[in-house]
Structure 1
Amino acid sequence: MLNITIMRGDNGQEAVLKLPGPYDESEETLSTLEAIRSRDVTTAIISADTSIERLDGILPGMEIDEQELNELEFLARRIGGLCGGERVALTGALELEKPQSLRDIVNLTCNLHKYKLTPGFKDEETMGRHLLKERGIHVPDSIADCVAYDQVANGYLADHPGVFTDSGFVSRNGERLEMVYDGKNLPEPYCDPDGVITVRLNPKGKPNRVTLTFPASCERIDAALEELGVESFDECYASCTSSIPGLLEHLPNYDGLECLNLAAAYLGADEEQNRLFMAVMEAEVPGSMFELPEITDALCQYRLLPEIKTPEDYAHHVLAEDGDRYYVDGFTADFVDFDALGKAMMKENGVALTSFGIVERYDRYIRQLPEELTTLRLFSPLYPQVFTRDEYGDLNWEPEEMSAHELCDYQDEILEAIEKNRLDTEGDRGLAVYLRNALLGRKVYGMNPTVEEWDGRPWGVLEVQTRGELSEGELRELTEEWSGQCSDGWGEGFEQREIKIDQGELNVSFWHSGGDFVIQPEAELKSQPEQRPGMTMQ
């Protein structure tokens, strides 16, 4: 919260602004705000009340116009999302840098990650005592009171300028400060330049929008949710991007934004570490983000061999590295299936082949996915359109109804059209080759659309082959992927494929924008006493 009192220069009229949030509608406030926006008079801050020490001594006396009013609004929101350590860092930064304008203060709040807080250092004496201890210098009790600890600290402070606060010593970490704000376009108050994941939130049924970056403190998340007027992320539509290419596709992100925030805390600017993390996630295929702490805590136990791209590569690698255990002479090598040998070695040694290369773990074998495939079938309604021919043999523009019973008569024609819609590049895996999530892509072998009659009605069916059972989150992610294929991908192309019938042409859609469209597992559908509507379409 930031409360400021401003005064118009022409008549001395004062107004109090409580930020962030809507201004009060008093005559004085509205008149003063109008004057600021019209730039008719000079308006200045005469006092400030804020939770950040030293800021209340810097703001008074500053003149403000409409842009600087926006900067104050930004500062209030930014301060509201700072955790305790960041508040202390900002207090120290204000003392160190001595900003001369609101623009300078805005930029400082966006550079707090370049300051460090050393707890316990409240003055030169405590710092001096610590420095001597750190250097292995033991001060006998007999002369302890005679040592000039402050002079010891002053020698350090000459090369490491900083500020003492009640919570410790604040100093720069050596990195150069960046000008995030140029005076024109204010940054997002809940975002940091070094954020790993950017999340854009839009509350369901509300116009508010907020952007924040992960990792984010509890304070920042709470401030963002408060501004949105919701209690949790579940009440928002969210879209995410990442500064680390491929990261989101290597996370079981179906567990929610809180888990994405947890993942972001383990990542950063170390590209090699980021690649190892993603490779390990792809190798272990966690069914839930809640498995993440165990994996990341043991990240040092993993090794990535990026040069090994195929089972054959792995076979040659093992032969070269462990020739005593595995030996193939030159004559025999001409008759060895190195691809099969490599797969057998991978299974025996408990390693996993990922898109980044081979991943192995020192203290245990990596969990292997089952070789046997499990079949899962997802059912959804079909929506037919029939374009009949007139007496001249021309197709009518308007489609006609077709009952579910009638559509059953054309099941063979629909199946034939589905077969023609397949691409050679998809192979046996079908639509599984298009899965965006690399973890789900390892676990789901095949996704092939078909149709099936049940209870007198034809249904769209996705036959899924998986390596092991899917978790609840994985099934939800898979269902969303199939829904997207029905509406915008495979299904969009299929519904435009005309199926020749005696009456004219039949178009079949696997998706509909109405509320009757639903995708459900076979067991769930067939346990219901009554069928859902949506089998006929004008």
Structure 2
Amino acid sequence: MKTKFIFNDVEHKVNLPISDSELLNLCGEFKPSFLNEENCKVLEVENKELNKVIANKNCNLYELNILSSLIENFTIVEKEKFDAYISSVTFESVGKAINISLNLDGFDLITDFKEIQKMGEKILYNKEEKISDEEFKILKDKYLMTSRGVLTRNDIELKSFYKKDKNKMFNEKQCKVILSIENKDIPNLYLPCSQLEVECLNRELKNDYNEMYTVNLENRNLNEKIYKFLNNYANVFSINDINETTKTVIPLSSETTNHLGNVINCLKIRNLDEIEIVKNNLNEFEYIENISSIRDYGIYMLKKEENIKLTEDLEQFINIEGYGKMKKDNYSIITEKGYLKYYGCNKELEDILNRVGINIENKELKETKIYFPIEVVDSENYDLANYEIEEYFDEILEHLENNISKLNLDEKRGLMKGYCYYDTINAKVLGYSINLEVINGEVMGGANVKLNEELTEKEVEKLKDEIEGEMSDGFGEMFEQRELKTDDGNKFYVRLWNENYWVAKTEEEFIFGEKRYSIR
């Protein structure tokens, strides 16, 4: 949001929001008062409705930056509601505008006035009789006429999400953890927060409490496993690392956050950088809960590999611990928190894993291929014969590669990035990419799969299902809608999946008809 303001007697033109470091450059020598005192005069902002409210008013630059960040991330609907609200209500502070921006789900905006008579009757009349003065007062609180439409209140409670606590800002809606300093007269920190707020706290601790201090954490809305990890390390990690960790997990799915929490709770992590390394290689870890001893692991493996469910009678004939020791390798550990195995060979993890007794094997990645049929149709939906597809092979391949490149996929993971289960397949399959090949005179789609470890037959079948899903509902669904214009003027559409005869096959199944797959 383009903003013109006066700060330190200097006029600035800035696209807000800006980063903490850019804010520091603006303010010069940082002082805690920068976070809450009126320190700038707004001259003009790009948002016309907001400009009417705050132009030529004094405010706090840090708060103005927070508001700009919220506005920048509005959905279209949220922006319409916000503009409607501020077009009809006077704000006494930027903080009030921040609170409204965090409460927009408590409003509905009516902009369709085609049946305005019926809407008026609905609002102002009950059973064709005029409402009482008392009822009208209630309606005035629930309906707001604006230049953008009628803004109505729904059943979602409005809350004071944004509050000031000395030099700290409290956004309850985004707060994951409350950090406090035990027995010290220092305001709490509501995480995640800006680096400036962390800097304020660190300065207070350094200036006023040079002795040791104890950090306490209270969970508000953080994944329980991540919170448990942070709580264990609250007085080992820096306050900045604790804050940055809460930021790190916000965009992650619940499955990813759970898996990350399980993995880091089994490892002896020392800092945020190590959390990042683990997060970036998370798919290569297998975690199994409720295994805290070699006996537990033996029972688990007997059921998984031998399909044996133990009974009291059977237990006396089986050396369960011995079987568990035989099956466990040097790439796994058993902790009180569960079983953890690493399938990859990333040397970045070597120090982290060595601390808990996991070795990283020096190994070359394995590869295998899985083939599947393709279709090419013209603009009238007629199938091209295989010899015709071969004639346009280079152009079809280039069309495929161009569309894949637009996805900006991780080079290592490729289309496997969309696999959302943290199981042995995710751990063993480093990634896969797709291309086209001519096999025995037939043009086929091919998934080039990179493996950390050989797959079982069941895992191969599950991987085929994953590839089918990606070709039918994921990338393939999008790709078949992208028109290919050939050099000779034809227009084609390429389908990587069809519901009639699609089947994925390993190289051996496709060429030799054998039910197995090869590793290279």
**Same-fold status (TM-score > 0.5):** no
TM bucket, shorter chain: 0.3 to 0.5
Q: Which structure has the larger Rg over C-alpha atoms?
A: 1
Q: Return the structure number with greater relative CO, CA threshold 8 A, min gap 6.
A: 1
TM-score norm. by structure 1 comes to 0.36
TM-score norm. by structure 2 comes to 0.37
